[in-house]
């Protein structure tokens, strides 16, 4: 069975060079070598999920995902001759330095630190822990437990919460002056964890300026509402 340690070992054997990894170049730098490893049966097939700050790999028949932070972005310039954008100068991220300036580009590391804060404030059970598993050529690699992603489009009327339950959640958020996002998921969280915990969780989210909690960053583990990506993004 594939483990996180085995994935890291294979990444190291492939001698991946990931410095200055960006959303614009990760296909060449990361995915192409991994697809070659799949063809050579070193790795199972995998799905790819990307955001502004990281790429996530979900390997077939595993109970975890691999999270790899982007180092920055490539500045784009419009080329009149080709009528297209070209990428040239690398610009490192600097918005993840909430705790350590040296890692101000690493949004996965920010999740590690925020999980510790959630643990300290006793709201960690709603966050899927992001774990540093090692490095490849000094570039950090992380793992996280696999989650059933929340997709409201797949929640039909039978599975969704009723209007009065949604209103109860909205009113609870409003009266406690906390943000209300994805009311259906929040209602599931209120029912699972209780009102007191939910308000404590939402105050933690507000205090740590955790935003960008769209459906792709929410999910469930055995019916338990969970937050998957809680680093936000500040560039």
Q: Decide if 60 is inside a domain.
A: yes
Q: What is the pTM of this model?
A: 0.89
pLDDT band at 139 (very low <50, low <70, confident <90, very high): very high
Average pLDDT over residues 150-167: 70
- Domain span at residue 75 reads 4-146
Question: What is the CA angle 39-25-50, rounded to 5?
Answer: 80
Domain shared by 107 and 51, yes or no: yes
Domain shared by 162 and 105, yes or no: no
Domain shared by 13 and 84, yes or no: yes
Weakest-pLDDT range from 27-36, 76-85, 89-98, 144-153? 76-85
Domain shared by 19 and 81, yes or no: yes
CB atoms within 10 A of CB 226: 22
Segment 172-185, tens digit of pLDDT = 999 999 888 889 99
| Winning range, highest mean pLDDT, from 84-88, 103-107, 137-141 | 137-141
Contacts with 22 (C-beta within 8 Å, 6 or more apart), sequence order:
70, 71, 72, 73, 74, 90
**Residue 69 contacts residue 140 (beta carbons within 8 Å):** yes
Domain shared by 174 and 205, yes or no: yes
pLDDT of 233 over the 50 cut: yes
φ and ψ at residue 185, rounded to 5 degrees:
-65, -40
Number of structural domains the chain divides into: 2
Q: Decide if 20 is inside a domain.
A: yes
Q: Decide if 232 is inside a domain.
A: no
157 or 87: which leads in pLDDT: 87
Domain shared by 8 and 110, yes or no: yes
Average pLDDT over residues 8-35: 95
What is the reported pLDDT for 102?
Answer: 63
Average pLDDT over residues 14-28: 94
Segment 195-220, tens digit of pLDDT = 999 999 999 999 998 988 888 899 99
Q: Decide if 86 is inside a domain.
A: yes
What is the reported pLDDT for 92?
Answer: 86
Domain shared by 123 and 168, yes or no: no
Domain shared by 21 and 114, yes or no: yes
Arithmetic mean of pLDDT over the chain: 89
Average pLDDT over residues 77-83: 71
pLDDT of 135 over the 60 cut: yes
What is the reported pLDDT for 157?
Answer: 47
**How many angstroms separate the Cα of 117 from the Cα of each of 68, 96, 123?**
21, 15, 9
What is the reported pLDDT for 158?
Answer: 47
């Amino acid at each position: 069975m594939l483990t996180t340690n085995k994935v890291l070992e294979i990444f190291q054997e492939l001698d991946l060079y990931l410095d200055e990894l960006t959303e614009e170049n990760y296909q060449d730098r990361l995915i192409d070598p991994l697809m070659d490893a799949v063809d050579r049966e070193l790795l199972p097939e995998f799905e790819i999920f990307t955001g502004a700050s990281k790429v996530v790999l979900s390997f077939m028949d595993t109970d975890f995902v691999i999270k790899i932070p982007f180092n920055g972005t490539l500045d784009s310039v419009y080329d009149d001759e080709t009528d297209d954008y070209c990428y040239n100068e690398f610009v490192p991220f600097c918005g993840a330095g909430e705790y350590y300036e040296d890692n101000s580009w690493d949004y996965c590391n920010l999740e590690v630190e925020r999980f510790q804060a959630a643990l300290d404030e006793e709201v960690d059970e709603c966050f899927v822990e992001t774990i540093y598993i090692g490095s490849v050529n000094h570039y950090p690699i992380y793992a996280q437990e696999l989650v059933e992603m929340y997709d409201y489009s797949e929640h039909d009327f039978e599975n969704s919460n009723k209007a009065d339950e949604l209103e109860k959640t909205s009113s609870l958020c409003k009266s406690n002056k906390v943000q209300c996002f994805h009311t259906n998921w929040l209602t599931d969280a209120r029912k699972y964890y209780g009102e007191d915990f939910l308000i404590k969780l939402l105050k933690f989210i507000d205090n740590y300026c955790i935003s960008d909690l769209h459906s792709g960053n929410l999910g469930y583990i055995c019916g338990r509402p969970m937050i998957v990506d809680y680093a936000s993004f500040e560039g």
